[in-house]
Amino acid sequence: MEPGEGIHSPLESFSSYRGDDWSPERLAFHQNLEQFAERVGLIVGLQANGKIEQSEAYAEIKSLWNELRTSKKDLSI
């Protein structure tokens, strides 16, 4: 199967890192950022459909944000 065709796993990233300043750390952060965006989308969907409360969604997203910020700091970006 060629890239961009067929069904993707939810754990597979959808885009590649395209930067002039490529490094393994930046690639790792890019993947963390994609995971953050996907998880926020899921949380928003759950909240919008009444599966979780707004305060719970906020707390989850805030926690994810702190994890992303920590990963950026740990990767020295």
pLDDT in tens, 2-60: 555 555 555 555 566 666 788 889 989 999 999 999 999 999 999 999 999 999 999 99
Helix axes 54-74, 24-48, angle to 10 degrees: 180
The answer to whether residue 13 is domain-embedded is: no
The answer to whether residue 17 is domain-embedded is: no
Residue 53, token pair as written in the block: 């409360």
Domain count, the chain: 1
The answer to whether residue 60 is domain-embedded is: yes
Domain assignment of residue 34, given as a range = 24-74
Q: pTM for this one?
A: 0.74
The answer to whether residue 8 is domain-embedded is: no
Structure letter (DSSP) for residue 56: H
The answer to whether residue 58 is domain-embedded is: yes
Report d(CA 39, CA 61) in Å as an integer.
8
